[in-house]
């Protein structure tokens, strides 16, 4: 029984599996949606001057019609649209997870309540406050408080050993909780680079077409030249936009996780200091 896993371990493994399944399904679905948006919305005939032409690639978009212009970006555009949707979906999913981890009330006020209850040596009330708060932060602090209560009746350890045991318990609980918050952030971080590189791929294919128009014998094909340059610029803009949004969301999410980690460290330090000062 001494080596039995904590009750939350199975729950965390289940949550991890659900998160992995979510990522596995979300990526292809976003790509499919991107393709549909490209074909049926951006490629709507109403976006082009000669919408009756069966080959939209041979027509020009209406003046100021950005959807028609984006359609001219070629086959890389729907992939970039799918990536942009991934950033949105994974950002929303992480926001929800982090919000649940924070708990029901504000994190700062919760930590202050715990510190006040610790100062008055009211451990039971502090545990009850964790039950009301819920979330990952409360779970970690509650684990430390339970260990605090166990150490009060432990006869075979001195104060330093007991403080070390409490600290170790808090660290173990944090190890169980924190990875769940960072899961799927790697997808957003990957899209920062992949979005730019995919946009660059579209830029290269567009420039190949542009130079192909220049390579024709006789007078350069101005339409092919313009189409190639337009495709290159559209892919560049879409790739940069996707990467920029991914960077912004990644930094926002990591800063929120850092705030949770700091709150756990602050409360954990208070628990250990309180035990050390009251059990000299």
Q: What is the Cα–Cα distance from 85 to 37, expressed in whole angstroms?
A: 11
pLDDT digits (tens, 9 = 90+) for 261-272: 898 888 889 888
Give the model confidence (pLDDT) of 76-86 as tens digits: 999 999 999 99
Q: Of 48-62, 147-161, 167-181, 226-240, which range is least confident?
A: 48-62
Tell me whether residue 160 is in a domain: yes
Domain count of the chain? Answer: 1
Query: What is the extent of the structural domain holding 230?
Result: 8-278
Q: What is residue 62's predicted lDDT score, i.e. its pLDDT?
A: 82
Between 223 and 164, residue with greater pLDDT = 164
Q: Would 25 be classed as within a structural domain?
A: yes
> Which own/partner contact pairs does 166-173 have at CB distance under 8 Å and 24+ positions apart?
166/271, 166/272, 166/275, 167/268, 167/272, 169/143, 169/144, 170/140, 170/141, 170/143, 170/144, 170/264, 170/268, 170/271, 170/272, 172/6, 172/143, 173/6, 173/139, 173/140, 173/143, 173/144
Task: State yes or no: pLDDT of 50 exceeds 70.
Answer: yes
CA angle 205, 209, 215 (to 5 degrees): 140
CB 8 within 8 A of CB 176: yes
Residue 246 CA to residue 250 CA, distance in Å, equals 6
Residues 121-160 pLDDT 10s: 888 899 999 999 988 889 999 999 999 888 888 888 888 8
Give CA–CA dist 119/22, Å, rounded.
43
Q: What is the pLDDT of residues 75-120, one digit of tens each?
A: 899 999 999 999 999 999 999 999 988 888 888 888 889 888 888 8
Position 119 scores a pLDDT of: 85
In a domain, 2, yes or no: no
Is pLDDT of 216 > 70?
no
Residue 251 has pLDDT above 90, yes or no: yes
Assess contact for 59 and 48: CB atoms under 8 A: yes
- Residue 135 is assigned to a structural domain of this protein: yes
Q: How far apart are CA 182 and CA 173, in angstroms?
A: 15
**Mean pLDDT across the chain, nearest whole number?**
85
Whether residue 241 has pLDDT greater than 90: yes
Alpha-carbon gap, residue 78 to 35, rounded angstroms: 5
pLDDT at residue 2 greater than cutoff 60: no
Question: Tell me: the pLDDT tens digits for 18-34?
Answer: 777 888 899 999 999 99
168 confidence band (pLDDT: 50, 70, 90): very high
Q: Is residue 118 part of a domain?
A: yes
Q: What is the CA radius of gyration of the chain?
A: 28
**For residue 12, what pLDDT is reported?**
58
The yes-or-no verdict on residue 229 having pLDDT over 70 is yes
Q: Is residue 132 part of a domain?
A: yes
Residue 176 lies in a domain: yes
Contact 19, 184 (CB under 8 A): yes
Within-domain flag for 1: no
Nearest alpha carbon to residue 85 among 195, 214, 178 = 195
pLDDT value of position 87? 96
């Amino acid at each position: 029984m001494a080596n039995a896993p904590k009750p939350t371990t199975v729950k965390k493994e289940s949550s991890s599996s659900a998160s992995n399944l979510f990522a596995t399904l979300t990526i292809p679905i976003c790509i499919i949606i991107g393709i549909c948006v490209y074909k049926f919305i951006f490629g709507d005939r109403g976006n082009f001057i000669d919408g009756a032409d069966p080959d939209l690639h041979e027509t020009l978009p209406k003046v100021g019609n950005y959807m028609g212009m984006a359609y001219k970006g070629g086959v890389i555009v729907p992939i970039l649209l799918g990536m942009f949707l991934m950033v949105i979906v994974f950002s929303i999913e992480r926001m929800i997870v982090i919000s649940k981890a924070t708990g029901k009330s504000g994190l700062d006020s919760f930590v202050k309540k715990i510190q006040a209850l610790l100062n008055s040596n009211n451990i039971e009330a502090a545990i009850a406050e964790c039950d009301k708060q819920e979330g990952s932060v409360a779970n970690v602090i509650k684990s430390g408080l339970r260990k605090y209560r166990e150490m009060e009746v432990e006869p075979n350890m001195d104060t330093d050993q007991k403080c070390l045991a409490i600290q170790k318990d808090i660290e173990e609980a944090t190890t169980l909780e924190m990875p769940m918050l960072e899961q799927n952030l790697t997808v957003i971080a990957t899209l920062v680079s992949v979005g730019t590189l995919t946009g660059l791929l579209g830029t290269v294919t567009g420039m190949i077409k542009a130079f192909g128009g220049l390579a024709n014998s006789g007078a350069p094909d101005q339409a092919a030249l313009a189409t190639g340059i337009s495709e290159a610029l559209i892919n560049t803009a879409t790739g940069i936009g996707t990467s920029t949004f991914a960077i912004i969301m990644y930094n926002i999410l990591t800063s929120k996780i850092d705030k949770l980690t700091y709150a756990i460290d602050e409360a954990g330090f208070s628990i250990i200091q309180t035990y050390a000062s009251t059990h000299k």
